[in-house]
Structure 1
Amino acid sequence: MLLQSSPRTPPGVGACETVERVELASPTGGREICVSPGLATNLRFDAPAFVELQDEVRFEQVVRDRRLLTLMPPPDMAEGERLRLTVHFEGEPSPSGISLMLVGHSGQATHQVEVSRDERTRESLRRELLQERARTAQLREALARAAARLHQSGGLRGLILSGALGSNAIQFHEFYQGSKGYTEGELTVTRGASYRSDKTVALEVWLENSGTTPWTVAGAALSVNGVPMEGLSWEATTIPPGQRDRVVVEVPAIRGEPQGNVTLRLWEEGPRTIDIPDVIFP
């Protein structure tokens, strides 16, 4: 008696891998295969086998070999529809075979399925490792391209679109430099510069760590006459012993502000803090 297919919500999009490995000897092995009308799926077996397909007459194409099965799902296969595929290995004592489920997806399918009756060989594991390395390399390249696009969009075009540029453009002022630096404890401000756009002000301070342990910025505050300004943004920075690095903070401010005694405070998770006074904006 033929089993009737029944609709069911398909697994998530992330479940459809380009290459899938089904280990029949493992009780936790995956037994569902993503298929899609118009997309071919190849199943490779580690031993000679023959298969039975539920509703095979509906399939667009089925090509069999002793160790390979190529199938094109039914053109009318609905998303979430499930069709049973039963594998019989040659010489297998059990007449019932082992069942896999073909699950219908829209526009995505697993292109190759490696079906292992026994534990996988070292060569199979080596191929998977090489494939994963290639996939990782592709992801890294895609990430690098995305970062490049982000960097490009963050240039002058990004500033113009954000409305940060006005008739006075970006203004700059240097308030600490060289011998005019500022030291507190194990930290020395070797250089300090301030910037102003139409909507924000920013500070760039270079800190040198003369201590014996790394110094990581865990918090920042920019105060005017002792009152912290709201909306400050900054990035965590770790300065190794004997080295220097910069810390950049930014806060919303209109033209002419802030006015008064401006101080930048930076602190770490431990007891060390630094209060940088006499901050001047252009």
Structure 2
Amino acid sequence: MLPPSCILLLVLHQGAPLIQPPPDAVCKQLQRIELALVPLAEAPEICVSPGLMTNFVFDSPVKVELQDEVRFQEMTRGRSTLSLLPPPDLVKGERLRLTATLGEGSTQQRVTFSLVGDPGRSTHQVEVYRDKRPREALQLEIAQGQAKNQQLLDELDQTRAQLAQLRVRLEQASGLLGLIANKTLSEKGIQRQELKKKELVRSEGVLAYEWGYGYRSDKSIAAELWLKNSSPEPWTAAVGSLVDAQGHEVGRMKLRQENPIEPNSEGSVIVEVDAPRTQGHGELMLWLRDENSRGITVRGLTFP
């Protein structure tokens, strides 16, 4: 019979390990799992790594339970999704249990996954299907979504092209080029005259008229008014109208104001009204209001 020391040397020489290391999990960037094809006795293995996010996408509403959840750096639950960032101290071969309950009511199905630690390698996305038909439906939905996105991208390109055309037209519409093209300019040109204070009744209120000019072309009349804001709030014109002595509106008005008129400051407002040369004569009344109905009424305006 061999002495105990010889027996110990024989065992060490043979090198029989007392603990077998767990086999490496198969790491895929995208892992699809069809539960109908997975035996319930087996827990699908998912490769996870510290510092790398793993996302689960289920084809039905899901509730999850995660072993040692407090160790995880991040875990975000959605109605049918789960995103997790494994513990920073997760070692190679360590396994953590993830239990998912899919569906609701009598159609619930429970499945357990084994999250296997593998630093530096992880599965980016896990797609879980209860049977083949929802998977095909989900793939069809994804394809339809991609087609819709492409349609939106095409429409966006068309909108950008139309916007570029509008910008070109806008540039062409400015200056003398636009006046000639719109037949606004004739041999009479554009008349201008000062809107003097003596021709006006000074309005009382938050705004006061200081000075301005009136203009006339073949198709419209316009006024550039300088107003003083005596209120404690900035003022910006929102609506306005130009009416004749009988109270009839002369035409459709357009407003332009570069900046709000600050308290105790002066600022300009430009108004334009569609009116041929045969209209808009005599003394007219202009009223302007902001969004809070604060404004000014200017009477006695006369245009060239």
State the TM-score, normalized to the length of structure 2: 0.44
Q: Which has the larger radius of gyration?
A: 2
* Larger strand percent: 1
* Larger helix percent: 2
State the TM-score, normalized to the length of structure 1: 0.47
